[in-house]
Structure 1
Amino acid sequence: MLRLVRAGAVLYLVLLSSCGGEAPPSPPPPEVRVVTAKAQSIENISEVPGRVQAIRTSQVRARVDGIVERRLYSEGSDVKAGQTLFQIDPREYRANVSAVSATLTRNQATAANARQDVERYEGLVKEQAISQQEFDAAMARLRTAEADVAQTEAQLESARLNLSYTAVTAPIDGQAGRAQVTEGALVSASSATLLTTIEQLDPIYVNFSQSSAYLLAIRQEIAAGTLKVPELGKVGVTLLLEDGSTYPHAGHLDFLDLSIDQATGTAAVRAEFPNPEQILLPGQFVRARIEAGFRPHGFWIPQRAVLLTPTGASVLIVAEGDTIAARPVKLGEERGGRWVVLEGLKNGDRIVVDGIQKVQPGAHVRVVSADQPAAGAAKPAEH
C-alpha cells in the first residue's frame, strides 16, 4: 500500500514539472481594416432651406374714383405689360375732357385776339397814334391769355390722363392673381384700392439665410487658402423640391447681404433660377445646395471611421510599429455616407475603418487594407 502511494506521488511530480516548464502562447494582435488618406479636390456644398419669391411683384391699384364695369382678364392667367385688366366707368372723365377742351378753345381764341391787338398797336405806338400805356395794357392782356391757354392745356392733359386710368392695365408681364374687386364695386384713388397682384415667375428668386458663424468660417478658410470660391454670380445652386426630386434647372447666387440680422444672427442670401415651366411658385419651400467653391486639399473618409463625442470628433490612426493612436479631426459636411475632414489628417495616414471596437490607443494590431477580405471571410465561388 505504501509503495502505491509513493508511485502516485512520483507520477504527480513528473506531470507537474512537465506543465510548468513552458508559458501558454499569447493571443495574436487584433486585425483592423484601414484606408489610406489621400488629399483631393472636394466641392464645398452647403445645404440650407429656402423660400421661393417672385422676381417682380406689382400691386395693381385704382388711380381714379369710379365704378368697376368689367374684369377683362382670367384670374391666374399670364398677362402682358399694357394689357387691360379692369374697366372703370369712363363717362364722367370723358365729360371732363370735353369740358376742358372747350375751355381751351375759348382761351386760345382770346389769346389770338390779344395777339392781333398787340400787332396793330405796335405800328400805332411808333407813330404815337396811341399812348405807350395802351400798348402795355394790350401786351398784358396777351400774356394773360397765353397763360390761360397753358393752364388749360395742362388741365386737359390731366383730364386725359385720368380718363386713361379708367382702363386699368398691367404694368409688367407676369401671372395675374385673383381679382380683389368685382363688377359694380366702387374703387377709390385716395385709398388706392387694390384690384389684383401680378407676379413675374420666370426667372424667379429663392431666398435663404446663412449663419454668421458659417460665413466667418468661410472667410477664414478663404484667407488661409484652404477654400477656393468663385465670384458671387458664378456660385452655382441646385434645388431639392418638397418631394425629394431635384429641380431640373441650375441657378446661381445673385445677392449676399453684408449685414447680419440681429434677431436671427444670419445673413440674407438670394439665388436666381430660370422657371420656364413655372414649377417653382412664390412661397414654396425648397432646399438649396450651394456649390460654394472647392477645397483643393480635402479628405474623404467613411462615416464609420469617425468617433463622435461631446468634445469633438476623432479617428484611430495606425502609427509606426502598427500601433493605434487617436487623432482629433475637424469635420466638414457629411455626404453619401462619408465625412469631409478639414483638419487633422495628412497624406498617407492609415485610418481604421473596421475593428475599432477591438482596439485602444497604444495597442498593436495586424493591418488589412479595406480593399482586402478580412481573415476568415468566405472566398468567392469559382466558376
Structure 2
Amino acid sequence: MAPTSPGHPRRSARQTRTTSIGRFPAGLLLLGALLAGCSDDKEAAGQSPAGASQAPQVEVVTVTASDVPLTTELPGRTRAYQIAEVRPQVGGIIESRDFKEGSDVEEGQALYHIDARTYRADVASAKASLARAEASLHTSNLQAKRFKQLVARKMVSQQNYDDAVATVGEGRADVASAKASLTSAQINLDYSVVTSPISGRIGKSSVTKGALVTASQDTSLATVQQLDPIYIDVTQSASEVLRLKRELAENRDASAAPEQAPVELVMEDGSVYAAKGKLQFADVSVDEGTGMVTLRALFPNEDELLLPGMFVRARLTEAVAKDAILVPQKAVSRDNQGNANVMVVNAESKVEAKQVVIGQAIDNQWLVTSGLNSGDKVIVSGLQKIKPGAAVQIANSEESVEQNTSAQPSATEDDSSENDQAKAGNNQ
C-alpha cells in the first residue's frame, strides 16, 4: 500500500468510484435539458401553423334558387298518327294487287283493281238515259213555245198550253235524274280501283288476285298507318292528377306546365329517344274500369324508329316550381325522427345544421321546399369529420385558399425561427 501525504488524507477506492458515478449523471442531465429546450422551442414554433390547420376540410355546394320543372315518368304505348282500313266500296273479282306489302304508299295510290266491266256498262246506260231525257226536254220546250203563241190567238186551249209547260218541267227533272244516275255509275266505276285513303305504310294484304269482295265487307283488304309523326298514349292515375291539382292550389311558388309542354321518351331498353315531343291533350274523363286518365303526346318519327304498339315511358313536365332549390342527395341525412337535415357552413366558417323539407327527387338531387336560402353553402363531402359548431375549411372554393393562406406562416418566417433556435443551442 502506498504512503499517504499528511495534507491529503487517503481516499478509499469505494469513495472514488462513488464520486465519479455521481458526476456522470449530472452531466447527462444538463445536456438533456439543453436538447429538450431546443426541441421544445422548435416544436412550439412548428405547432403554431399546424394547430391553425387542424380544422377539417369539407367540400360545399352553393345553392341558388331557380325555376325547376317537376317531371313524372308514365308508361304508355305508341299509336299511329292516322290509321285507315282499306275496304272495297263495290263488289267484284280482284283483278290485281298493285302494291308491295310493307311499303310506303301515297294518298290516292291504286292498291287493287276490281273487275269493272259491269260498271262501265252502267255508265254507258246512264249516258244513254241522259241523252234520251235531254232530247225529250228539247221537244217539250219547242211545243211549249208554239202553244204559247197559239193560246194568244185562241187557237189552242189554255189547258193544252198548261200541259205543255208541265211537260217541260218533267223533262227537266228527267234530265237531272239521268245526270245523277250517270254520276252514280261513274262513281261505282271509279270505286273499282281501290285507292289508299291516306299516305303511310301499308301492311299485309288479306286477299289475292281472283278473290271475290263485296261492298263495305267486314274484313279489310289491308291497313295503312301514318307513322310520322306518331302518338304516344300514356296513362296516369286519377289520384295523381288530383294530388297535382291540390299541390298547385296550395303552393303559390309552383305553376302548371304550359300547354304543349315538351315530353321526353324513354325506350323499352332504357335509351332516350333523340327527339322530344309535345303534350297534345289530357282526356276529359276517367276510365271506370282502371281509374286512369289518358294523356297523348306527339313525337316526330322521320326515321320511323317508333312503330305502333311499342311500350315506352314518357317523362312529362307536370308543373314548374318557382325559385326552387336543389341539393345533392348525398348532402341530406335523416335524424331518428325521420326529419331531413343538411350541414351548412355559415359566415363564421362553422358548421350549422339545418332541418329542411324535401320534395321529389330530380335525377341525383332533392327538391328542397323549405329550410334553405339561396347562397347557403351546403356541405357535400367530409360530413363524417364534422359536427355542428365546429370550425371547418372549405376545400373547393376561393374561400378555402384564403383560409389556408392566413393559417400557414411564410417560408421566410419558418427559416428565421429555426435559425434563432440553432443560435440559442450553440450559446448554451
Q: Name the TM-score class by shorter chain.
A: 0.7 to 0.9
What TM-score, normalized by structure 2, do the two folds share? 0.69
| Partner in structure 1 of residue 361 of structure 2 | 333
Match of 1:231 among 258, 270, 277: 258
In the aligned structure 1, how far is the partner of 2:286 from the partner of 2:61? 41
Bigger fraction of residues in helix: 2
What SS class does the counterpart of residue 275 from structure 1 fall into?
coil
Partner Cα distance (1:206, 1:338) in 2: 28
Q: CA distance change for structure 1 residues 34 and 345 in 2, over 3 Å: closer, same or farther? A: farther
In structure 1, which of residues 22, 28, 38 is the aligned counterpart of residue 63 of structure 2?
A: 38
Please say if residues 287 and 293 of structure 2, whose CA atoms lie closer than 8 Å, have aligned partners that are also in contact: yes
Is residue 121 from structure 1 mapped to residue 147 from structure 2 by the alignment?
yes
Alignment counterpart, residue 206 of structure 2, candidates 180, 193, 198: 180
| Structure-2 residue corresponding to 1:158 | 184
* 2:367 match: secondary structure: strand
Structure with larger Rg: 2
Structure that is richer in strand per residue: 1
- SS of 2:221's equivalent in the other structure is strand
1:275 aligns with 2:301: yes
Q: How does 1:363-374 map to 2 (within 5 A)?
A: 366=390, 368=392, 371=395
Contact persistence 1:230–1:292 (CA under 8 A): yes
Is 1:247 the equivalent of 2:268? no
CA 1:246–1:181: 2 relative to 1, 3 Å? same
Shift of 1:146: 2.1
Normalization by structure 1: what TM-score? 0.76
Between the aligned residues of both structures, percent identity stands at 38
Q: How far apart are the structure 2 equivalents of 1:63 and 1:309?
A: 74
Contact 1:32 1:356 in 2 (8 A): no
* Equivalent residue, structure 2, for 1:76: 102
Task: Read off the aligned partner of 2:113 and give its amino acid letter.
Answer: Q
Query: Which residue is equivalent to 1:58?
Result: 84
Matched AA of 1:64: V
Separation (CA, whole Å) in 1 of partners of 2:160 and 2:222 = 61
Q: Confirm or deny: 8 A CA contact 2:231 2:296 kept in the other structure.
A: yes
Which of 83, 89, 97 is matched with 2:123 structurally? 97
Structure 1: distance between partners of 2:243 and 2:72:
13
| Cα distance change on mapping 1:60 and 1:328 into 2, 3 Å | same
Partner residue, 2:10: none
The structure-2 alpha-carbon separation of the partners of 1:56 and 1:367, relative to structure 1 and needing over 3 Å to count, comes to: farther
Does 2:114 match 1:88? yes
Q: Which amino acid letter does the alignment assign opposite residue 146 of structure 1?
A: R
The answer to whether the 8 Å contact 2:94/2:208 transfers is yes
Q: 1:200-247: per-residue Cα shift (whole Å, max 9, x none)?
A: 1111111112333443444345443322455312x1122222233222
CA contact (8 A) 2:238 2:293 kept: yes
Structure 1 Cα separation of the partners of residues 381 and 276 of structure 2: 39
- 1:336-383 CA distance string (max 9 Å, x none): x32223345445667676788999xxx8674656847xxxxxxxxxxx
Following the alignment from structure 1 to structure 2, what is the Cα–Cα distance between the partners of residues 262 and 312? 38
Correspondence for 2:215: 189
The one-character-per-residue Cα deviations of 1:257-277 (angstroms, maximum 9, x if unpaired) are: 243334333322221121111
Deviation at 1:193, TM superposition (A): 4.1
Give aligned pairs, total.
339
Deviation for aligned residue 1:90: 0.7
Residue 261 of structure 1, aligned match among 287, 290, 294:
287
Please report how far the alpha carbon of residue 108 of structure 1 lies from its aligned counterpart in structure 2 after TM superposition: 1.8
Which residue identity is paired with 1:197?
A: T
Indicate if the aligned counterparts of 2:345 and 2:378 stay in contact, CA closer than 8 A.
Answer: no
Change in CA separation of 1:128 and 1:192 when aligned onto 2, cut-off 3 Å: farther
- The residue type equivalent to 1:149 in the other structure is V
**Alpha carbons of structure 1 residues 309 and 52: separation in structure 2 relative to 1, 3 Å:** farther
AA paired with 2:199? D
Alignment partner, residue 379 of structure 1: none
Structure 2 letter corresponding to 1:98: A
Equivalent residue, structure 2, for 1:47: 73
Pair 1:47–1:32, CA change in 2 (3 A):
farther
User: 1:101, 1:156 within 8 Å by CA — same for their partners in 2?
Assistant: yes
Query: In structure 2, do the counterparts of structure 1 residues 115 and 311 end up closer, same or farther at CA, with 3 Å as the change threshold?
Result: farther
C-alpha distance in 2, partners of 1:160/1:55? 32
How far apart are 1:57 and its partner, in Å? 1.2
Unaligned runs of 5+ in 2: 1-55, 397-428
